[in-house]
Structure 1
């Protein structure tokens, strides 16, 4: 189909908050390994909540506790992946609905305004699961044709992971979504709190 793209250099100390989507691996894992630089760096199929997050040197017990508390306010949710989308230079899967992911991103960005999504490069970041990047359009066309019959698939979201780059991506923490007061759909509900 095309040539594998090399991963861009990462800065030691970068961090990312993401939702791992293991349900995507049987569907597009092999393609990601070949055409997605994040897969080559050891990052699983995922939806980005916030990248870049704080530098690793700023992530202390207080930040970890605040993240734990923030994510505990949101209930676990389900997503459906039924169609591909494209950005210039990237092929991705669209989560449906995307509102719960947008809400998590907005909540983290509001709590840490010094860490806007994608460094502030986009006014309205679109939640997406990258399948391939840096390829020619005909490569994306071929991937879509090859994998269309594997869609849709469902994913359950129950946690957010914090990864830090120290020469390789390492999982620093996992934050369970709790039974808090936010449903992840924009509606306030009464919940039992985090347990």
Structure 2
């Protein structure tokens, strides 16, 4: 199960359109869902600690994302990493652009804390489960795909206590 710290933040693209398909599976088999995060594709986690996010940083985030064009995405396939099953978005380059723009401004906040060399945009459905659970998740996901969504904002989430809460939303207005 993922370990989150109080005051930790994340920049996420929330994908409400997939919640009907992935929600029940995520609530059972995904640590971030259990901690209050909706279905999402990560832009940056962890981002700056909340005490560093003042009005100036919020304004910079708003400006940075306002310069980005909204875009469409389709989830048509299930993918996996060791111990993870996810929905793969069609617009990986656009998600990488969002991540790259944030990292260019705040290089001290690399994606996933710098643990992974490559950014691989995905929407995690299940993690840390036995093979038979992953097989059931994959079968259910495949039966419900394809799902289209419009990416028009990035949300700032903050971990407070035991749960994540949406703190702000930044529109893509390019």
TM-score using structure 2 length:
0.96
State the partner residue of 1:38: 32
1:148-188 deviation digits (Å, cap 9, x = unpaired): 1210110111100001111121211110000x2xxxxxxxx
Written as runs of structure 1 = structure 2, the 5 A alignment for 1:28-67 is: 28-67=22-61
In 1, the alpha carbon distance for the partners of 2:50 and 2:131 equals: 36
Written as runs of structure 1 = structure 2, the 5 A alignment for 1:112-151 is: 112-151=106-145
State the partner residue of 1:23: 17
* 1:172 corresponds to which of 131, 142, 167: 167
Deviation at 1:75, TM superposition (A): 1.0
Q: Does 1:153 align with 2:155?
A: no
Where structure 2 has 5 or more consecutive residues not aligned to the other structure, the ranges are none
Q: Does 1:89 align with 2:83?
A: yes
Deviation at 1:69, TM superposition (A): 0.4
1:97-152 deviation digits (Å, cap 9, x = unpaired): 21110000011011000000001011112000000000012221121122312101
Computing the radius of gyration from Cα coordinates, the structure with the larger value is 1
Where structure 1 has 5 or more consecutive residues not aligned to the other structure, the ranges are 1-6, 181-195
4+ runs deviating over 6 angstroms: none
In 1, the alpha carbon distance for the partners of 2:22 and 2:56 equals: 37
Let me know the Cα RMSD of the aligned residues: 0.9
Q: Retained in 1: the 8 A contact 2:2–2:32? A: no
Greater share of helix? 2
Aligned length in residues: 173
